[in-house]
Amino acid sequence: MTDLRLDATQLDRYSRHVIMDEVGPEGQKRLLEGSVLVVGAGGLGSPAIQYLAAAGVGRIGIVDDDVVERSNLQRQIVHGDADVGRPKVESAADYVAALNPDVDIETHEVRLTPENVGDLVADYDVVLDASDNFATRYLLNDHCVLTETPLSHGAIYRFEGQVTTFTNERTGEDDPPCYRCIFPEAPEPGTVPDCATTGVLGVLPGTVGCIQATEVVKYLLGKGDPLEGRLLMYDAMDMSFEEVPVRPNPDCPVCGDDPEIESVSDVAYEGTCEISAD
């Protein structure tokens, strides 16, 4: 039987969790024994990493091949001015180390590819997609569907954000949808401008990333209802939330009735993420 005892420092640190019936010492131990792979240490990844670490998630992997730029600091709050020019994974790791010594941080200063996604995802309980490009989103979705790995999705644009959760638990009956069920293909390259072109409200990713972290913590605790089958749309200008129901697509190429994607090597992820012709 797992030892549910927390030491005195942990009882103090996590006291607001421990006194909750829905968490308690057993739930806190589940968090401490849990693991999350955060893909992207930017706008969405920053608040997600901060709150996952503060909550006591015991092992957090961070995937990012970028370095900190001063223009990042308006929204990527896990980094500071002194970190400009440093790899984002190093900056984020230092932040977590100063915040909570209970957390083991594993840094992966690489770009996610079909060749490395399997090794990166395999050792974690759940994946949090905080990426900023369609290729990574589709790659993560496809791999997580094929391996039945739970995935938290978030995306932002100017004043708007969206969040959903894919548990990817598949039994053959009433299976949940995946990202491709909502968005079968990525838009043509260059047709959707990024935040460097259109801008983004600095506080927006904080809201969306925190919702993603909440979904992950709930999953690790085994509590509450995930955003599965529901796409939560957030408009910061109107301060409004809209929930859009999402259903499985029987024609989905990765989770449908007759899937065409059996491996991430079947897809050309740098284009519109369509199935490769060969």
Beta bridge partners of 153: 129, 164
Model confidence, pTM: 0.94
What domains appear along the chain, each with residue ranges and CATH number?
34-266 (3.40.50.720)
171 or 79, greater pLDDT: 79
The answer to whether residues 60 and 95 touch, using CB atoms and an 8 Å cutoff, is no
The closest of 48, 50, 54, 47 to 32, measured between CA atoms, is 54
Question: What's the mean pLDDT in 196-205?
Answer: 90
pLDDT at position 277, please? 40
For 200, half-sphere exposure in the C-beta direction (CA atoms, 13 angstrom radius) is 26
- Distance between CA 74 and CA 270 in Å, rounded? 28
Residue type at 244?
Answer: V
Plot region of 106 (φ>0 → left; ψ -120 to 50 → alpha; else → beta): beta
Percent of the chain exceeding pLDDT 90 equals: 86
Q: Which tens digits make up the pLDDT trace of 33-73?
A: 999 999 999 999 999 999 999 999 999 999 999 999 999 99
Burial bucket for residue 140 (CB in 10 Å: 0-12, 13-18, 19+): buried
Active site residues: 195
pLDDT at position 275, please? 61
The answer on pLDDT for 190 being more than 90 is no
Q: How far is CA 109 from CA 14, 23, 65, in A?
A: 30, 33, 5
